[in-house]
Amino acid sequence: MTDQDRGSETASGLSHVAVGETARDHYTLAPLPWLAGCSDVGRRHETNQDALALGGRETTQGRLAVLVISDGVSTSLGSEESAAIAAEVASSTLIAMLRTMPDASAEQVQATLTDAFIAANDAVLASTGPGPTPGSCTLICAVLNEGRVSVGNVGDCRAYWIGDDASCHILSVDDSLAQARIDLGMSREDAERSFQAHAITRWLGPDSQDVTPRVAALDVPGPGWLLVCSDGLWNYRSAPEDMTSLVHRIVDECEHDAAESAAMLVAWANEQGGRDNITVALLRVG
Q: What average pLDDT does range 47-61 have in this prediction?
A: 94
- 262 versus 192: the higher-pLDDT residue is 262
132 CB contacts (<8 Å, ≥6 apart)? none
User: Closest Cα partner for 68 from 226, 212, 228?
Assistant: 228
Question: CATH number of the domain that 205 lies in?
Answer: 3.60.40.10
User: Which tens digit of pLDDT belongs to each residue from 245-271?
Assistant: 999 999 999 999 999 999 999 999 999
Whether residue 12 has pLDDT greater than 70: no
With pLDDT > 70 as the criterion, what percentage of the chain qualifies?
93
Pair 63, 144: CB distance under 8 Å: yes
In a domain, 174, yes or no: yes
How many domains, in total, are found in the chain?
Answer: 1
User: Which tens digit of pLDDT belongs to each residue from 227-247?
Assistant: 999 999 999 999 999 999 999
Whether residue 117 has pLDDT greater than 70: yes
In a domain, 20, yes or no: no
- 78 versus 151: the higher-pLDDT residue is 151
- 183 versus 68: the higher-pLDDT residue is 68
Region of residue 153 (phi > 0: left; psi between -120 and 50: alpha; otherwise: beta) = beta
* pLDDT computed for residue 3 by the predictor: 36
In a domain, 17, yes or no: no
Pair 159, 151: CB distance under 8 Å: yes
Of the listed ranges 58-67, 104-113, 122-131, 156-165, the least confidently predicted one is 122-131
Pair 226, 282: CB distance under 8 Å: yes
Q: What average pLDDT does range 91-115 have in this prediction?
A: 97
Pair 142, 226: CB distance under 8 Å: yes
Per the structure, the complete domain to which residue 34 belongs is given by 26-285
134 CB contacts (<8 Å, ≥6 apart)? 78, 81, 82, 124, 125, 126, 127, 128, 205, 206
In a domain, 7, yes or no: no
122 CB contacts (<8 Å, ≥6 apart)? none
pLDDT band at 197, cuts 50/70/90?
A: low
* pLDDT computed for residue 188 by the predictor: 78
User: Which tens digit of pLDDT belongs to each residue from 167-190?
Assistant: 999 999 999 888 778 778 888 788
In a domain, 249, yes or no: yes
Whether residue 6 has pLDDT greater than 70: no
Whether residue 280 has pLDDT greater than 50: yes
Rounded distance between C-alpha atoms, residue 120 and residue 85, angstroms: 7
In a domain, 217, yes or no: yes
Rounded distance between C-alpha atoms, residue 272 and residue 238, angstroms: 13
Pair 102, 147: CB distance under 8 Å: no
Max mean pLDDT among 42-46, 108-112, 130-134 falls in: 108-112
In a domain, 9, yes or no: no
